[in-house]
Amino acid sequence: MYYVYIIKSFNDKIANQYYVGYSTDLKKRLHSHNFGESIHTCKFKPWTLYCYFAFKEEILARKFEKYLKGGSGRAFSKKHFLLKQY
């Protein structure tokens, strides 16, 4: 399976920080975010899994991730997942 996920930071200094990503192994990927192995997320750790979407086809997962990272996708996320920002 191919996963698109949204993680939320629990860093007390930063409120409402979210990150959208793609992975084939959610547990391993969340672990790498929490151990500072991603340059884009290391300063906001610790992270928790907020939600994820599973796809059978990689191309669909990649397209959905790209959509969520764009302007329309951020608006969609805010409306449907109650995200403040990311």
Task: Write down the pTM of the prediction.
Answer: 0.87
Instruction: Dihedral sign for Cα 49, 55, 59, 65, please.
Output: negative
Contact 14, 72 (CB under 8 A): no
pLDDT tens for the chain, 86 residues: list them.
999 999 999 877 777 788 999 999 999 999 999 998 988 899 899 999 999 999 999 999 999 999 999 999 988 888 887 655 54
Q: What are the boundaries of each domain within the chain?
A: 2-81
CATH architecture assigned to 2-81 = 3-Layer(aba) Sandwich (3.40)
